[in-house]
Amino acid sequence: MRTTRSATEKKPARTRKPALHPDIREVLYTQEEIAAKVKTMAAQISRDYAGKEVILVCVLKGAAVFLADLMRQLTVPCIVDYVNWSSYGTSTSSSGVFRILQDLEESVESRHVLIVEDIIDTGLTLHYLLRHIRGRNPASVKVAALLDKPSKRKIEVHTDYCGFKVPDEFVVGYGLDYDQKYRNLPFVGVLRPEIYAGSDTPPDKP
């Protein structure tokens, strides 16, 4: 459940980078910047989990790209599992009630779990996923998120490893979609508003 910048909020000043796709207004993080960040995060995670085995829990679909790059940089033994949660609600709000389309296959009891997310927005997905996993008595649970958009938080959640704090824009690429498209872009960029203007399925509004 992701949200756009509200009309009343000012866009933060930052250096503009060239757009690499006609539907992208601005590139926020280039392929190279993301690769460097993922490498740094993986090094930190590998240090923290030294001597342990970790279960990487990838939250489908968006986190699949981040997971694929992150896991190949890890130096600790890891197992991969996937969950897919769908939020009930409307295009304008999340109900905070989730339907589990795909649950964990691995037992996490007494094991170290690292949730892998592409973006934390309202925090609702992560909040309920943490509760779900903690109910299964893991040895530990931590969170690695490539992107964090704190301006849209509806519930407080803690992220142990965070790549970038993103401004309040609708971002796509590197796994993140609009209407299931743009996940394949190798960078993270801001979608042009005219792409979703008048659409039946606009990005979620605050």
Which residues sit at the interface with ligand PRP, rule CB under 6 A? 1-2, 59-63, 117-126, 177
Residues in CB range of 45: below 8 A, 6 or more apart: 54, 70, 74, 76, 114, 144, 161
Report which residue type is found at 190.
V
Residue 45 or 87: which CB sits closer to ligand PRP?
87
Q: If residue 65 lies in a helix (H) or strand (E), which one and from where to where?
A: helix 64-71
**At closest approach, how far in Å is the CB of 31 from ligand PRP?**
19
Please tell me the distance from the alpha carbon of residue 186 to that of residue 57, in angstroms, as a whole number: 22
Buried b (16+ CB within 10 A) or exposed e, 5-19: beeeeeeeeeeeeee
Residue 46 or 193: which CB sits closer to ligand PRP?
193
**At closest approach, how far in Å is the CB of 61 from ligand PRP?**
4
Residue 2 or 112: which CB sits closer to ligand PRP?
2
**Tokens read off for 72:** 């190949």
Residue 17 or 21: which CB sits closer to ligand PRP?
21
**At closest approach, how far in Å is the CB of 131 from ligand PRP?**
13
Burial of residue 182 (number of CB atoms within 10 Å: 0-12, 13-18, 19+): buried
- Pairing outcome for strands 140-148 and 78-89: unpaired
**At closest approach, how far in Å is the CB of 52 from ligand PRP?**
25
List, by residue number, the catalytic residues.
Answer: 121
Radius of gyration of the chain (CA): 17
